[in-house]
Amino acid sequence: MALGAPRRSCLSVPGSSEKMLSKAPSLPQDQCFLDLEDSVAPLEKEAARNLVIKAINDQDWGTKTLGVRVNAWDTKYTYRDVATVVEGAGERLDFIMLPKVQTASEVRALDMMLTQIETTMQIGSRIGIEAQIENAKGLVNVDEICAASDRLEAVIFGPGDFAASLGMPHLTVGEMQDASYPGDHWHYVLMRILMAGRANNLQVIDGPYAQIRDLDGFRTVSVRAQTLGFDGKWALNPAQVDILNDVFTPSQAAFERAQDILSAYRQATQVDRVGAVMFNDEMIDEATRKMAEKVSAKGLAAGLKYAGRTERESSN
């Protein structure tokens, strides 16, 4: 799977639930990860590995980015999670998600293990890594973590464990800020992870919102992540997927404006040979081009089509 594959909606599927594993391929999420960690009871973890392998191999996942979240290195499950799943389903696996990452060495250890399994099993594709930042130590080391391996494709914020790590008085994963606090209590953490991810050309994903029936609240926190520049967010329930695909896709108007800006800037720089030009009532330059390219790329990845200014004007 290409590093830049869309991750607007990242659906978490418990690896111990045959019902949810069978339903997931039919849903419209960009990415799906089959979970062996927090959503699976300790006594079910070993059995869940085989359910996950069967689901990966026997079902049609289409073009979805597909991965497995293993257990963290500080548990007894990790090495067997990785070995069993990658040996059993490595040809269709796009990534392994590593939770509760605290140091770069944890990512490098997973990288080396994947290399050995791929070589031994003669797996044709290279499996990526996604790293979750879920505690204070992970955030302190986030720059080194994001630079630890060229297998890394995405870095993810984990709000539940992070709240516990800091001693925040939260009882709901991913909940909105308390009205008694004058700002967004997650703003620093979100921006810190975003900076480290972008500095290393990674996609950056916001974590879950556990109030799955509160779709208005979910949209609010999703818009916050999108506004900051995140590429996507987790869904814990199918009802959240459509909201994410909407929030993290540029509007048709924004997409067309971005394309118009790029066209006008090409004319200015390549034909008229000027570095800045008026576009309607706005001065555009190289910085504007970079912003427009980001919006354009996200729109194209989501399947938006550009009609062109001339065609749009003639139809009005």
Reading the chain (316 residues) residue by residue, the pLDDT tens digits are: 445 789 999 999 999 999 999 999 999 999 999 999 999 999 999 999 999 999 999 999 999 999 999 999 999 999 999 999 999 999 999 999 999 999 999 999 999 999 999 999 999 999 999 999 999 999 999 999 999 999 999 999 999 999 999 998 887 887 776 667 788 889 999 999 999 999 999 999 999 999 999 999 999 999 999 999 999 999 999 999 999 999 999 999 999 999 999 999 898 889 888 888 888 889 999 999 999 999 998 889 888 998 876 554 545 4
74: Cβ contacts below 8 Å, ≥ 6 apart: 100
48-57 pLDDT tens trace: 999 999 999 9
Residue at token pair 């709901």: 172
Q: How many residues does the chain have?
A: 316
Q: Euclidean distance between the first and final Cα of the chain, in Å?
A: 41
**Sign of the CA dihedral with 154 first, then 160, 161, and 164 last:** positive
Q: How far apart are CA 230 and CA 190, in angstroms?
A: 9
CA distance 33 to 31: 7
* DSSP run (H or E) holding 228: helix 215-228
Supply 73's token pair: 């290195």
The candidate with the shortest Cα–Cα distance to 23, out of 71, 65, 74, 61, is 61
Distance between CA atoms of residues 220 and 160, nearest Å: 18
- The answer to pTM > 0.85 is yes
